[in-house]
A and B are shown apart, each in its own frame.
Chain A
């Protein structure tokens, strides 16, 4: 069993950064202001790049530096910038979305974190070095991203949830397996980028179609019994 005092300064920094990534997921869950949420997401991406860079330094893995740079460019700069531009274009800067049942949402979120620790226990028991905690954190970030998508009705928030799921997955890959093979990582980055472009297209189409980005109002396609189009 490693205790914190046995870890080097670099390793402790990684752990703190991972904790902050998780904290930012909670922020995404609670933040009613759109622009602030986008900023929180950008910070999450930045921290992720930092973690990747540090793990790369600790383990002296060259290809992890590439993915650190890729993360920084994509998750911390490009995607937040695109989301920011879209919000301005759709005039949503002042958009405030009250979080319904805030206390309940946060309690469930805490329960999800505990659940992910419980779920990855068998993995943590394997010898993982100092990154063992981060696997649990990354699963928690994935589940919290899902929870954001469930609790938020607004399309931009849903995309933030979606993208933070990707962040969690990336964190898992970095911490558990020291990154995926480079081909796979490039492919994933490409997919994320295309997904972001498509989300942008969809914001405009949804906005044109229902004059709002409240996806709860996308409800025409139920199992229609009394329907004659």
Chain B
């Protein structure tokens, strides 16, 4: 409980303090320190959970499924904070934003971390909704931080689309609550997930299936599922790069986490009906559509951050598909994929931020010869893209391989769609990547101060995960798999 308090209160307190700190230098370091404290708290919490199995208290529920996401969230939060310190200082020097904007940025960064951690730790699906909506509110001003007409447009779109989407999720939550109140033998119905889960067999299937549609569309908007994905490329391309890194690496995961939690309830409720897998089929449909559409859209992007945001949609689609497929193998693969995708994608966005500063633009056509100008950035981008495209030594290959095997097992025909989607995405990424890394550098292109240590750490972890998954982690993911599907895989 104590660690939980540290975990949640550190970001809140630092958001309040950072809103008042004027010095950019101090704010950057405070942001890093706060994220470090959060990470330590989350690791200690994870150790606690590993010892006791799960922690259930009045308002919070920590089990194997969310504790690994909590550690991941605070880890990416820390490395992105380390990256953002010199990056935002550079942004400030170039005059794209003023001191007030940076104060807002640092405060909102911590506020966003708080909403993410609250969404993951809470046991109440109503509070989960409040936290996910809060994440939109915390980031929406950051998307328009640079005040360009494009940035304002992107932020407005983000605000309206996610606001409406999440409103539908609230309607779904109300319906679930309604189903809970009308289930037999449960007098004091609540919105606590753990209690709903215990009583899920008694929930009226007609109502829960209707609720699931609303919840899927609602949280699916945040995951970036096609056709509700329109906000995502805009928000990623126009916001400051550290924001893109945490949006892609963390927010999408948390929204998917919400969907999986709710699928567990709906599956329990639908078990006795004629279509027990309805929720899974819906997830598979949305997931596969997003995966294929996004991999095609990768090809026609001109803006480097837009391109990688489509790659995020593609991977989220793949995970959604895998969770829909169900079964221990697919779920294990999807959980692993969540982990490696977050690490790789945030590393890529960090690198892209530096690349865009070197070239002075985000336009792919004008980013050339990175490896000559600044080898660290060039190599970072090359390795990052190789990892995300699923090249063998990296962890993404492992998880995608598991997912393909699972698909082959239960729905062999979908393997064709998945493989072609992966190939299309691979081609799309590399046709743009090659000239950016190896092309002829324009005259007078100079290196920028870049901190590639976070990238190196992320990619190293992904690489290690590709060779061998440590026992601790494998056991953890396996416990989460057991929780979601009711069966071990290992």
Binding site for B on A (CB under 8 A): 119-120, 122-123, 126-127, 139, 142, 146, 149, 155, 158, 162, 165-166, 168-169, 172-173, 176-177, 180-181, 183-184, 187-188, 190-191, 194-195, 198-199, 201-202, 205-206, 209-210, 215, 218-221, 223-225, 227-229
Proximity bits, B260-277, A CB within 8 Å = 1, else 0: 000000000000000000
Residues of chain B within 8 A (CB-CB) of A188 are 126, 129-130, 170
B124 engages A183 (CB within 8 Å): yes
Segment 145-191 of B: residues with Cβ below 8 Å from A: 147, 149-150, 152-157, 159-160, 163-164, 167-168, 170-171, 173-175, 177-178, 181-182, 190-191
| Further pairs besides A188-B170, A199-B159: 6, Cβ < 8 Å | A172-B171, A181-B191, A188-B126, A194-B137, A221-B153, A225-B302
A176 engages B160 (CB within 8 Å): no
Q: In the bound complex, how far is the Cα of B167 from the Cα of A199, in angstroms?
A: 16
Interface bracket on B: 35 or more
B134 contacts A by Cβ under 8 Å: yes
Q: In the bound complex, how far is the Cα of B191 from the Cα of A221, in angstroms?
A: 40
Proximity bits, B179-213, A CB within 8 Å = 1, else 0: 00110000000110000000000001011001000
B153 engages A228 (CB within 8 Å): no
Proximity bits, B322-353, A CB within 8 Å = 1, else 0: 00000000000000000000000000000000
A122 engages B137 (CB within 8 Å): no
With A123-B210, A173-B174 as known contacts, state yes or no: A210 contacts B149, CB within 8 Å: yes
B174 engages A180 (CB within 8 Å): yes
Residues of chain A within 8 A (CB-CB) of B152 are 202, 205-206, 209, 218
- The listed residue (A165, A206, A224) touching B164 by CB distance below 8 A is A165
Q: In the bound complex, how far is the Cα of B133 from the Cα of A69, in angstroms?
A: 23
- The listed residue (B147, B154, B167, B207) touching A122 by CB distance below 8 A is B207
A223 engages B300 (CB within 8 Å): yes
Main secondary structure of the interface of A (DSSP, over half): helix
Residues of chain A within 8 A (CB-CB) of B137 are 191, 194-195, 198
With A184-B124, A184-B130, A201-B141 as known contacts, state yes or no: A221 contacts B150, CB within 8 Å: yes
Min CB distance, B17 to chain A, in Å?
A: 19
Residues of chain A within 8 A (CB-CB) of B126 are 180-181, 183-184, 187-188
Chain B residue at minimum C-beta to C-beta distance from A180: B126
With A187-B126, A205-B144, A205-B147 as known contacts, state yes or no: A224 contacts B167, CB within 8 Å: no
B164 engages A146 (CB within 8 Å): yes
Stretch of B278-286, B362-370, B396-404, B446-454 with 4 or more beta carbons under 8 angstroms from chain A: B362-370
Q: In the bound complex, how far is the Cα of B167 from the Cα of A221, in angstroms?
A: 25
- The listed residue (B150, B159, B300, B301) touching A198 by CB distance below 8 A is B159
Q: In the bound complex, how far is the Cα of B207 from the Cα of A123, in angstroms?
A: 7
B130 engages A225 (CB within 8 Å): no
